[in-house]
A and B are shown apart, each in its own frame.
Chain A
Amino acid sequence: MLLAFPETHRSVVLAARSPDQKERARALEAVAAAYWRPVFRHVRARWRVPDEEAEDLAQGFFAKALEKDWLARYEPARGRFRTYLLACLEAFVAKERRDGRRLKRGGGMTRVPLESENADGERWELPLADGSDLEAEFQREWSRGLFALAVQALRQRCLGTSRELAFAIFERYDLEDHDASEQPRYADLALEFSLPVTQVTNHLHWARRELRKTVLEKLREITASEEEFRSEARALFGAEPS
């Protein structure tokens, strides 16, 4: 059985070119949901600014993108959407900081610690402000955002349905951070959820398959062409999609 790519979800990147202002705003909202965290962390690491300033800049970037219709100017033939967005961000922050510095002339750079903590209490180390590291970090954050969106969507879809149990087992086995030695066995989960082991296997398989489908749906939404979609899917799953 080969998993086919979902065809039904429309690209919000393309929707961003709609003549309808409301549709454009909705499209930007969807893009922002997937890109907010990568943008925030990129600003934080690239310009070494404190969390609050990075948040303001990330927020300002998406506001400006809506105001100036940046997404509508994206041409899929010229490269990946992610690369385009990063170029827009670079230009935006550079300009903001230039203007900001003119206002604060005489003031020095704010020194920030090499570690940061986000709203979830997760600590993370800033990558080196080096091009390749930053790009890899941006890509990783983008993957993280995409998977987080898909997990959230799957959770919502399962809530209040017969699949709630499948999601709970999946959450316990695959979403919780375990050391290899602490990883529960299927038998432990079977005991915990009062199920036969085969049911645990079935639920886990269902949830994983649904997550993959959801990730691909979300990916289709934030890519502009079939080629870009397939190429990003390959990068995400490490295998040639079928």
Chain B
Amino acid sequence: MKTLGDGTLDRLRQVTEWPDLSSTRYELRSEVARGGMGVVYLARDRELERDVALKVIGVEAADADTAARLRREARILAHLEHPGIVPVHDVGELPDGRVFYAMKLVSGKRLDELVREGLPLRERLRLLLRICEPVAFAHARGVIHRDLKPENVMVGQFGEVLVMDWGVAKHRGEPGVASEAPTPTAGATPHATAHGTIVGTPAYMAPEQARGDVERVDARSDVYALGAILYFMLTGHSPGRLGASPEVPTRTWAGRRQASVAPGITAPRELDKHLPRPLEAICLKALTLEPEGRYAGAGELGADLGRFLEGERVSAYPESLLDRVRRFASRHRTPILVLLAYVVMRVVLLLVARV
């Protein structure tokens, strides 16, 4: 009896689970990722001679509901043609009845991995700005992602940003079906998934969504998740776990403005006092407990972030005179330094001429 090598053994363990792709134009190469609803494979499209990612419902999750959800996800993606959203090429059914769809194969790193590698702050913020763009585009078309988190964002080799996993996205006007919402499960860790159950990531989920108040879930729920991603980018931690504290704390910053932030969240500057106050204000505004206190959509959040990056005044932070002077000095550092140098030089020349 021939001994099986390590590579062969691993492959056999995988391929015996692989779906039957006869009657399709794809051939499977390897497994890429496995989630609660389905498995993503690297496959070869024989017709177009290119590699694609194939999302197939897992054997364990194969039922009519999951099939409908996967088809819905593919349709939503097909209607969101944006460079920041992974394009769907094809949707179909396997001989065993399982639904699959083919999409662009994305290579790169997940946002959480990239942030942990230690990107400079401005780079991190620019990335978030680029995440806001496709989300704002989806909002404009009435689609809410509902499961935004760093693990669902891919950053390509050339800095291209792709928002992934629209499996629980909701279209405006669609009835709020509670079972479609990512549901926090008791004891679920931020990265947990479970077969047959959709498990969201409590730390990134808006309070109204976590409560199952599906009627109130709208673009502002995604704004909360984007605020939570910003929090992670600023502090390296996800915001506090849901239900960590039963009471809703009222946070005050800069002594001038109050906002009710979702429970259990520590203000970013309490973790890192070097963080700019306006940036903290943007983050906390997005993380406000009640949707009414947040930005109206990803576009508005992105615009405020853009203003911060340009050294302009942000809407989330009411500035004092000192703040304005500081911002002005920081924004016009070079001309101010040149002017100062010129004045110093003139003074020195004046003194020399007198001597």
A3 engages B59 (CB within 8 Å) = yes
A201 engages B27 (CB within 8 Å) = yes
Looking at chain A's contact residues, the main secondary structure is helix
Is residue A194 contacting chain B, with contact meaning CB distance below 8 A?
no
How many Å lie between the Cα of A237 and that of B5 in the bound state? 17
Output the least CB separation between B201 and chain A (Å): 22
B12 engages A174 (CB within 8 Å) = yes
User: Which segment of B16-24, B174-182, B301-309, B330-338 sits at the interface?
Assistant: B16-24
| B residues lining the A interface (CB < 8 Å) | 1-5, 7-9, 11-13, 15-18, 20-23, 27, 29-30, 44, 46, 58-60, 62, 95-97, 195
B21 engages A208 (CB within 8 Å) = no
Is residue A183 contacting chain B, with contact meaning CB distance below 8 A?
yes
A187 engages B16 (CB within 8 Å) = no
Residues of B within 8 A of A175 (CB): 4, 8, 12
B4 engages A144 (CB within 8 Å) = yes
User: Which segment of A8-16, A54-62, A104-112, A145-153 sits at the interface?
Assistant: A145-153
Q: Name the contact of A177 in the complex, choosing from B7, B13, B29 (C-beta under 8 A).
A: B7
A120 engages B60 (CB within 8 Å) = no
A2 engages B29 (CB within 8 Å) = no
Output the least CB separation between B74 and chain A (Å): 21
How many Å lie between the Cα of A144 and that of B18 in the bound state? 19
9 more contacts with CB within 8 A, not counting A122-B3, A177-B7, are: A3-B59, A152-B2, A198-B22, A205-B20, A205-B21, A205-B22, A238-B13, A239-B17, A239-B195
B60 engages A118 (CB within 8 Å) = no
How many Å lie between the Cα of A202 and that of B29 in the bound state? 15
Is residue A212 contacting chain B, with contact meaning CB distance below 8 A?
yes
Residues of A within 8 A of B12 (CB): 147, 151, 174-175, 211
0/1 string, A1-23, CB within 8 A of B gives 1: 11100000000000000000000
A202 engages B22 (CB within 8 Å) = yes
B23 engages A1 (CB within 8 Å) = no
0/1 string, A175-195, CB within 8 A of B gives 1: 111001001011100000000
A237 engages B3 (CB within 8 Å) = no
Is residue A215 contacting chain B, with contact meaning CB distance below 8 A?
yes
B4 engages A186 (CB within 8 Å) = no
0/1 string, A127-156, CB within 8 A of B gives 1: 000000000000010011001110110000
Q: Which of A1, A3, A212, A236 is most buried by chain B, counting CB atoms within 10 A of its CB?
A: A1
Q: Name the contact of A148 in the complex, choosing from B3, B15, B23 (C-beta under 8 A).
A: B3
How many Å lie between the Cα of A198 and that of B96 in the bound state? 16
With A147-B9, A185-B44, A240-B60 in contact, is A174–B15 under 8 Å at CB? yes
B8 engages A177 (CB within 8 Å) = yes
Chain A residues within 8 Å of chain B by Cβ, number: 40
A211 engages B16 (CB within 8 Å) = yes
Is residue A126 contacting chain B, with contact meaning CB distance below 8 A?
no
0/1 string, A100-126, CB within 8 A of B gives 1: 000000000000000000101010000
How many Å lie between the Cα of A143 and that of B12 in the bound state? 11
Residues of A within 8 A of B9 (CB): 140, 143-144, 147
A208 engages B18 (CB within 8 Å) = yes
Output the least CB separation between B46 and chain A (Å): 7
With A177-B7, A186-B27, A208-B16 in contact, is A242–B60 under 8 Å at CB? yes
Output the least CB separation between A202 and chain B (Å): 5
Residues of B within 8 A of A183 (CB): 29
A236 engages B13 (CB within 8 Å) = yes
A237 engages B16 (CB within 8 Å) = yes
How many Å lie between the Cα of A197 and that of B21 in the bound state? 11
B5 engages A122 (CB within 8 Å) = yes
